[in-house]
C-alpha cells in the first residue's frame, strides 16, 4: 500500500535523523557545559540536575523518542507480516526510544554529590530498559533475516551484538570501579562507541526497510 511506503520512508528518515542528531546534540551540549569531560563522563551527565543545558537535553530526549518511534512504525509496516520475531523487534525499537529518549531525558540524574535520588532511579530504570531493547535487537533480527537469506546482515548482527556487549560491559565497569586513569577512566568513550555501533546497525536496518515494496515476497526462502 502507498501509505505503508510513506511510513517506511518516514521511518528511514527518523532513524537517520536520530543517529545524526544523537552525536550532533552531544557535541553541542558538551561545548556549552563548562568543565564537562566527554571522555570520562557519560552522556547522562549532560542533562543532570544543575547542568546549564538540562532543558535542552530534555527536549532532545523527547525529539529522539519521536524519531525512534517513527522508525519503529516504519519497521512494523515493512516487516510485521514476517511473523512474531519481526513484531518483537518492533517492540524492542519502541522500548529503546521510550527508555533512552523519553524516560531518560525527562528524569535527569543527580549531580555527583547530592541530587534527586528518585529522579536518578527513574533515569537509570528507563535507560537500562531502553538499552536492553537495543542490545537484544540483533538476536531478534537474526530470526527475521536468516543466515541463508541475508548472510552479510546475519554476520553484521553478530558483530554488533558481540562488540556492543563488550563496550557496554566496559561502560558498566567504569560505574562499578571508577578510576582516574587507565581503561576504566574512559566512561564517555566506551558509552559513545557503543551508541555509535548500534546506531550504524539501525541505519543498515532502515536501509533494508527501503527495499520493501508492495507485493514483495517474504524475505525467507
pLDDT, mean of residues 80-98? 95
Query: Are 125 and 84 a contacting pair, CB within 8 Å?
Result: no
- Residue 171: its H or E element: helix 151-176
Query: Are 95 and 101 a contacting pair, CB within 8 Å?
Result: no
- Given a cut of 80, whether residue 209 has pLDDT beyond it is yes
221 vs 97, residue with greater confidence:
97
Tallying the residues shown for the chain, one arrives at: 221
- Residue 218: its H or E element: none
pLDDT, mean of residues 66-73? 97
CA separation for the pair 44, 91 (Å, rounded): 24
Query: Are 168 and 176 a contacting pair, CB within 8 Å?
Result: no
Q: Which of 87, 40, 1, 64 minimizes the C-alpha distance to 183?
A: 40
124 vs 87, residue with greater confidence:
87
Look-up of cell digits 554488533: 160
pLDDT, residue 213, reads: 56
Q: How confident is the model at residue 30 (pLDDT cuts 50, 70, 90)?
A: very high
pTM to 2 decimal places? 0.91
pLDDT, mean of residues 98-111? 84
Amino acid at each position: 500500500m502507498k501509505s505503508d511506503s510513506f511510513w517506511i520512508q518516514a521511518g528511514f528518515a527518523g532513524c537517520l535523523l536520530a543517529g545524526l542528531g544523537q552525536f550532533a546534540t552531544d557535541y553541542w551540549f558538551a561545548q556549552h557545559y563548562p568543565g564537562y569531560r566527554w571522555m570520562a563522563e557519560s552522556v547522562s551527565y549532560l542533562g543532570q540536575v544543575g547542568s546549564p543545558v538540562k532543558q535542552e537535553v530534555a527536549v532532545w530526549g523527547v525529539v529522539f523518542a519521536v524519531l525512534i518511534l517513527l522508525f519503529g512504525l516504519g519497521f512494523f509496516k515493512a516487516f510485521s507480516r514476517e511473523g512474531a520475531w519481526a513484531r518483537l523487534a518492533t517492540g524492542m525499537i519502541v522500548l529503546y526510544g521510550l527508555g533512552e529518549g523519553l524516560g531518560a531525558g525527562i528524569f535527569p540524574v543527580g549531580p555527583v554529590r547530592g541530587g534527586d535520588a528518585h529522579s536518578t532511579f527513574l533515569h537509570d530504570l528507563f535507560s537500562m530498559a531502553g538499552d536492553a531493547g537495543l542490545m537484544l535487537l540483533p538476536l531478534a533480527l537474526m530470526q527475521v533475516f536468516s543466515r541463508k537469506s541475508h548472510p552479510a546482515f546475519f554476520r553484521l548482527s553478530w558483530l554488533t551484538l558481540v562488540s556492543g556487549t563488550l563496550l557496554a560491559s566496559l561502560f558498566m565497569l567504569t560505574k562499578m570501579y571508577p578510576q582516574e586513569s587507565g581503561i576504566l577512566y574512559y566512561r564517555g568513550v566506551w558509552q559513545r562507541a557503543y551508541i555509535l555501533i548500534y546506531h550504524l546497525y539501525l541505519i543498515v536496518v532502515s536501509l533494508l526497510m527501503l527495499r520493501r515494496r508492495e507485493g514483495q515476497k517474504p524475505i525467507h526462502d
